[in-house]
Amino acid sequence: MAHLAFLILSAMLLINVVMIRVAERHLIQNKLQTGRLLLAGLEQLVKSRIESGNRPLEEIASDPLFKEQLSRMLNVGEFSDALVLDRDGSRLFVTDSWGLEFKGAKAISRECLTTKKPAYNFSGTTWGAVWIAQERVDISGPVLIDGRLFAVITIGSSLSAQYKTLRDSEGLILLYILAYTITLVLFGFWLISRTVVRPIHKLLRVTEEFSDIESLEPIADSPKNEIGQLYISLDLMLKRLDQNKKELKEYISSLEEANQEIKKAQDEIIRSEKLASVGRLATGVAHEIGNPIGIVLGYLELLRGENLGSEERQDFLDRMESEITRINQIIRDLLDFSRASAGAVKRISIHQLVMETLEMLRPQPMMAHFTMSHMLDATRDIVQADPSQLKQIFLNIFINAADSMAEGLPDLSSANTLTISSQDLGEFIELRFADTGPGIKKEDLVRIFDPFYTTKEPGKGTGLGLSVCYSIVKGLGGEIRAESSMDGGTTIIVILPICREQ
């Protein structure tokens, strides 16, 4: 409403200024026209005096009756000053009110004597109706009888009276403008409220209260203009939104079902890979527990002897217990690893899990062909994860390293080394598993985490080990990658987020 009032008032004031300026120009033109008519009357007065009495101009100009008639005509024409010169430029008659403007009157009179044509001149400045304007006007005209120049008459007048007339009417005009502006503003406000504001408020209320298409009230009585088209467009848009919302819900529901299926499939893959690792470990365990069982059987044979002392018998029993405990620990570690994970996520030490995995692998024959070196230097190693899944990651990496080094050195030399190191990376911990095997080709390096991709011979690998490691690490918000050099050796890098203190 304020903007509307400002625009209308500005427009009205601008129109008022233009009209005042036009009226001011018309008044000045009327003043000039009046002056020309007055000069024509004075010319006829002088001519009649000359022709009737055949008297010289000097006598006519000094005649009191002529002066009275001239003064009366000036008053009627609203001119205050007069100057009469003969054809030689000598002054015959002049009023006393010229003042400083007399020089200008003489100059325009001499111009008229020279050209024998009427002339006018504006001089001075004063405050007009709305701005600075000319203060007065002087008009000069020749007196011609039979084409001969007898005299020049110049009249002058101030324009202040015309400006004052306009200024006096300006107050009434401004009052009309104010009343007209108030009327237009009120009518405009009512019209805009009816055609724009209220429909837009209705649209806003519809959009704010919209939850679904069932709760949407029908949009009725829409205006037959652009707002009405907006009503129709909004109604169509809300219906499309509701349809898209339903489709999105169905799509999300299908995605959730697909995600559950993918999660089940992923769990099955992790489980199958774990069972494959367990099967391989079981082979090593069967070989490893054969030795202690043979020792136990030997001691049992010795215990059947009758010539054993009590101390020897107790020693044999202690040794048998030690070997059976060893067998029990090996089988328990294998069973603990093979048991289905409950998916319990808890705070766990990475260093502890690495060492536990190494202890579980230590009885395996594959571990006899290379040495282990660990430099676990990270000061913070607590992560939030499922311990069985982390063990599976480390186990897959250890088995791959053992297979790689076994292929790289057919003589099974003890020069093979697997180095495990850790370091702090701010909010993450980095684990490096570096072997001394033959390495991985550059074209194969980018594919080793793909499912079912393997460089091992058929029957020696499923191609899921590193893929399972990749999915587990990514699920924990970490990163896993591989590096290999031309000189041999492969390094698997695992980066996991550490737990915050709280």
Q: For the CA atoms of the chain, what is the radius of gyration?
A: 59
The per-residue pLDDT for 219 is 54
Helices 310-338 and 226-303 cross at an angle (nearest 10°) of 160
- Terminal CA-to-CA distance of the chain, rounded, Å? 58
Give this prediction's pTM. Answer: 0.42
The pLDDT score that the predictor gives to residue 154 is 93
The CATH architecture to which 2-179 belongs is 2-Layer Sandwich (3.30)
pLDDT (0 to 100) of residue 189:
83
pLDDT digits (tens, 9 = 90+) for 361-372: 776 666 767 788
Q: Give every CB contact of residue 281 below 8 A, 6+ residues apart in sequence.
A: 334, 337, 360, 361, 364
Neighbours of 429 (CB within 10 A): 24
Give 431's Cβ-side CA count (13 Å radius): 29
User: Quick one: DSSP state of residue 218?
Assistant: P
Q: What is the phi-psi region of residue 248: left when phi exceeds 0, alpha when psi lies from -120 to 50, beta otherwise?
A: alpha
Q: Give the C-alpha distances (Å, rounded to integers) separating 10 from 1, 17, 191.
A: 14, 11, 20
The tens digit of pLDDT for each residue in 176-207 reads 888 888 888 888 888 888 777 777 887 777 77
CB 496 within 8 A of CB 428: yes
Q: What is the pLDDT of residue 273?
A: 59
Under 8 Å CB-to-CB from 76, ≥6 apart: which residues? 38
pLDDT at 141: 93
The three-class DSSP label of residue 94 is: strand
Q: What are phi and psi of 491, to 5 degrees?
A: -120, 120
Token pair, residue 302, equals 């010795």
Nearest to 113, CA basis, from 157, 139, 150, 70: 150
Low-confidence ranges of the chain (pLDDT < 70): 53-55, 209-224, 266-292, 294-295, 299, 302, 306, 323, 326, 329-343, 363-366, 368, 407-415, 451-464, 486, 501-502
Contact 153, 192 (CB under 8 A): no
Confidence at residue 445, expressed as pLDDT on a 0 to 100 scale: 75
Angle between helices 2-53 and 64-76 (to 10 degrees): 160
DSSP alpha helices (H): ranges in 304-349? 310-338
Provide the pLDDT for residue 287.
55
Per-residue pLDDT, 421: 92
* Contact (CB, 8 A) for 109 and 93: no
CA 16 to each of CA 13, 172, 173: distance values in angstroms, whole numbers, following the listed order = 5, 12, 8
User: Residue 283: what pLDDT?
Assistant: 57
Please say whether the beta carbons of 8 and 184 come within 8 A: yes
CA pair distance 426, 159, nearest whole angstrom: 91
Q: Are 482 and 439 in contact (CB under 8 A)?
A: no
Q: Give the per-residue SS3 of 97-122.
A: CCHHHHHHHHHHHHHHHHHCCCEEEE
CA distance 92 to 69: 16
Burial group, residue 240, by CB count within 10 angstroms (0-12, 13-18, 19+): exposed
Phi, psi of 98 (to 5 degrees): -65, -50
Matching residue, tokens 């400006």: 163
Whether 58 and 90 have beta carbons less than 8 Å apart is answered as no
CATH 3.30.413.10 fits 343-502, yes or no: no
pLDDT value, residue 187: 86
Distances (CA, A) of 258 to 244, 250, 311, 467, 493: 20, 12, 68, 20, 31
List Cβ neighbours of 59 (8 Å cut-off, separation of 6 or more).
none
Neighbouring CB atoms inside 10 A of 384's CB total 15
One-character DSSP codes across 459-481? TS--S-HHHHHHHHHHHTT-EEE
Q: Which structure tokens are listed for 142?
A: 């020749």
Q: Which residue has the tokens 């599976």?
A: 392
Is the backbone of residue 99 left (phi > 0), alpha (psi -120 to 50) or beta? left
Distance, CA of 390 to CA of 469 (rounded, Å): 9
For the segment 81-117, what is each residue's pLDDT rounded down to a tens digit? 999 988 888 888 888 888 888 888 899 999 999 998 9
User: For the chain, what are the domain ranges?
Assistant: 2-179, 343-502
Distance CA 462, CA 59 (A): 143
Residue 337 DSSP SS3: helix
**Residue 208: what pLDDT?**
73
Widest CA span in the chain: 194
> What's the CA gap between 273 and 399, in Å, rounded?
12
